[in-house]
Amino acid sequence: MLERVRVGFVGTGGIAGHHLKQLKEIPEAEIVALCDVVSERALARAQEFGGRVFSDYRCMLDEVELDALYVCVPPFAHDDIELRAAARKIHLFVEKPVSLSLEQALEVRAAIREAGILSSVGYGLRYLPATQAARRYLAGRQVAMVVADRWGGLPGTPWWRVMEQSGGQLVEMTTHQVDLMRYLVGEVVEVHARYAYRAFADDPSITVPDVQIASFLFEDGALGVVTTTCALTQGGGRSEMDFILRDILLHYTTRDLRVTPESAPQPAEVEPGLSIDQAFIRAVQTGDASPILCDYDDGCRTLDVTLTANRSARTGKPERTYFSEND
């Protein structure tokens, strides 16, 4: 068992800052290297969290001994980061979405398998007590339909507003809700999506659809619907999910669950477990993957659903997911 886990980062922006703060509270984790194309940003992180600073991840991987690497880059910027790390048998934490190309993601998946390394993808909602309580409640029960809404505004990062760089809200942000649907209901085999440009039609710099709807057919026959919008820039957004079962409505938020009617069986409370960062470091330290709730393979399957939605929106027809016909 490793006494300490030497951690590097490629990408030191907003989400990386969140992980760095979490890792700072884990005694077994040591930040040893930070890489960002904006050197000043990496330097500022290093002053707070430690580690050598790089502007080229290739140099970082060549010069620093790492046990684990966090890849926290925009969706379009993965390049060969994961492949180079896997070749060095460095365990990988990859932020979602894992790519904008399923072909690239499958190549990385194969490299991870060949290297025999651990992987984790940043679907942190899986680790929440409310999610674990919902998973236990739904186990053994037949879900008829699940409906999710993720409504909010536009992130400030310029690349998010460009379809070719972010993949759109469903791929980059509402991927969390899609992943929860998979985690709690099962695999999606078919997607039918419609997108529109309504709220920001007068702004040519915004090329992502501002309203998106996708319906899902799950492997066991359950139905799902997700709606998402980035039009609410002045507040008023929401994020919630409802599961319809026979004579039961399970309402999910990241904070709690509510079952109606009150006469229906009620969910049991679940005590907080390991956070996503604690789970990854524990897994790397011990070599036991069980604390990780979403590995790279799982992340590929969520990416598959959202990219299939993009394809359906283009063709105007229902589309089968890759993993419904391949493994």
Q: What is the pTM of this model?
A: 0.97
Question: What domains appear along the chain, each with residue ranges and CATH number?
Answer: 5-124+275-294 (3.40.50.720), 125-271+304-324 (3.30.360.10)
C-alpha span between 150 and 132 (Å, rounded): 20
Q: Coil, helix or strand for 214?
A: strand
Instruction: Say what the pLDDT of residue 229 is.
Output: 98
Instruction: Say what the pLDDT of residue 327 is.
Output: 86
Q: Kindly provide the residue ranges of all beta strands, DSSP E only, lying in 95-222, ordered along the sequence.
A: 119-121, 145-151, 188-196, 211-218
Per-residue pLDDT of the chain (327 residues; tens, 9 = 90+): 899 999 999 999 999 999 999 999 999 999 999 999 999 999 999 999 999 999 999 999 999 999 999 999 999 999 999 999 999 999 999 999 999 999 999 999 999 999 999 999 999 999 999 999 999 999 999 999 999 999 999 998 999 999 999 999 999 999 999 999 999 999 999 999 999 999 999 999 999 999 999 999 999 999 999 999 999 999 999 999 999 999 999 999 999 999 999 999 999 999 999 999 999 999 999 999 999 999 999 999 999 999 999 999 999 999 999 999 998
